[in-house]
Amino acid sequence: MIRNHLFSEEYGRNIIWVMMSGFFLKIGAKENIFGQIIMPKNDYLFNLDEKNINNEYLKYENLHYIVLDGATQHTTDARIQNIKKKVNIYYVGKFNEYWKHIQNSQLLFPDNLDDFNNLIHKIKKKFPFFFKKYLLKKTFTTLNNTKNIKLFTNHTFNKHKYVYYGYIKPIKEHLNIYEKHLNLKYDQYKFFFEQYNDLNSLQKKIKMFCLLKTKLLETVKIEAYPYLNEFLLFIIRNILCNFLKEKNNFFIYDGAGGNLNFNAYEMFFGNQHTYIDLGSKVGYDNLYPRQALLNLSNRKFVRFNLSEKLFFSNIDESNLYLQERFDNFFENLKI
């Protein structure tokens, strides 16, 4: 396909994320003069986007499978269940409570930013043609973004703002899944998705969050923890976005679960802004695709990230921890 030839996406459309993780460097892959990735002779990487598998992989000794959407993807991905040989799992969505039980699994990205910054120079040196072709993809992404002329113009020509583009809240499909696995009703959590941007409402939401989390941990089965974890992270993200979106010098854009995405992270222009990084929506990763893209493009950013200790902390510990994390984040945003 022309798209694969142009953008080196024979392993999936988001192959840039895999490249930046250091995966191809780790397994000893190479590139040809066209920027195509050449896997080692006995290694096989399952395509990121294919829905089915064929028996081609059976000819290889070292199998690699990448999970970009955390533990819930791993539990529901039929392809993984149908693989008939030992496979190495590389995941985005750090959640040790789940992954410690999965054999041959490891984080896709390095676990800290310093390691990534040291690694990215080696990756660019080993795969120079790939990154030259990636500039072509950024060009097409920039042109494609002009379809939303209002967003494109505001992002390109506006003076400095703190910006966020992406998932803010789960779409109805996701909520149905969470409600099913967590035995939830919308009335039990709708308060978190209502918009209040004053400090008192924010603090009330934090307290209510800690209470709901504790109650759910008492009733939810262990096998449903991945869904509970994602649901809680979505609530935190929504609380933050609703607090920030009406404030001066902020622009928060909801991509509606990917249906209305505006890819500001892989386009030219926009270096005048400071990007808000709210962490992975599927885990407690210190480094994940959005963070890697911000670093690759040398964008200024302010991070909000949480650790897994929040998941099992009691009400008082959770409340104190979140208050500290929120205060630190707002201080960095000069609020």
pLDDT in single tens digits along all 335 residues of the chain: 334 445 667 888 899 999 999 999 999 999 998 888 999 999 999 999 988 888 999 999 999 999 999 999 999 999 999 999 999 999 999 999 999 999 999 999 999 888 888 899 999 999 999 999 999 889 999 999 999 999 999 999 999 999 999 988 888 898 999 999 999 998 999 888 887 778 888 999 999 999 999 999 999 999 999 999 999 999 999 999 999 988 989 999 988 777 788 999 999 999 999 999 999 999 999 999 999 999 999 999 999 999 999 999 999 999 999 999 999 999 999 98
H or E segment and range at residue 317: helix 315-332
Q: pTM for the complete prediction? A: 0.92
Contact 34, 129 (CB under 8 A): yes
| C-alpha span between 242 and 258 (Å, rounded) | 19
pLDDT given for residue 3 in this prediction: 45
pLDDT given for residue 139 in this prediction: 93
pLDDT given for residue 1 in this prediction: 35
Which of the 8 DSSP states describes residue 268?
Answer: S
pLDDT given for residue 6 in this prediction: 59
Strand 162-166 with 37-38, pairing = unpaired
Q: Which residues contact 107 (CB under 8 A, 6 or more apart)?
A: 90, 91, 92, 94, 285
Q: What is the dihedral of CA 137, 138, 142, 145, to 10 degrees?
A: 70
Burial class (CB in 10 A: 0-12, 13-18, 19+), 189: buried
Q: Which residues contact 178 (CB under 8 A, 6 or more apart)?
A: 170, 184, 227, 230, 231
**Domain map of the chain by residue range?**
2-134, 146-332
pLDDT given for residue 198 in this prediction: 82
Polymer length in residues for the chain: 335
Q: Which residues contact 248 (CB under 8 A, 6 or more apart)?
A: none
Contact 192, 208 (CB under 8 A): yes
Contact 142, 268 (CB under 8 A): yes
